[in-house]
Amino acid sequence: MGRYPLLDWIGWGATAIFSISYFCRDATRMRLLQALAALLWITYGILLKAPPVIFANSIVAAVATYSAWRQHSLRQSAKESPPTQ
């Protein structure tokens, strides 16, 4: 571990969550886990005072959250729509 063990654990935790997300069978769940990992990376970047880490992961968190919301909305509207004949 480095000089700041808590900081290291945040980075390792973000890496683990992001890696685990690839094992999700549900795309929405995968994106939500990726957004969570990106939030941890943002925290890591703030504590490290690393603007590129903060900026890049802000984009990842926003895109992952938006795409998870969009996927969820599409599923909901498909459930509510009557079947076509």
Which tops the pLDDT comparison, 79 or 9? 9
Look at residue 83 and tell me whether its pLDDT is greater than 80. no
Whether 22 is in a domain gets the answer: no
Q: Long-range contacts made by residues 66-72, C-beta under 8 angstroms, separation at least 24?
A: 67/31, 68/28, 68/31, 68/32, 68/35, 71/27, 71/28, 71/31, 72/28
* pTM as predicted: 0.82
State the Cα angle at 61 between 42 and 2, rounded to 5°: 25
Whether 10 is in a domain gets the answer: no
Structural domain including 56 reads 27-80
**Model pLDDT for residues 23-80, shown as the tens digit of each residue:** 999 999 999 999 999 999 999 999 999 999 999 999 999 999 999 999 988 888 888 7
Whether 31 is in a domain gets the answer: yes
Cα–Cα distance between 85 and 79 in angstroms, integer?
16
Whether 5 is in a domain gets the answer: no
Cα–Cα distance between 7 and 24 in angstroms, integer?
27
- Residue 35 is predicted with a pLDDT of 97
Whether 69 is in a domain gets the answer: yes
Which tops the pLDDT comparison, 10 or 83? 10
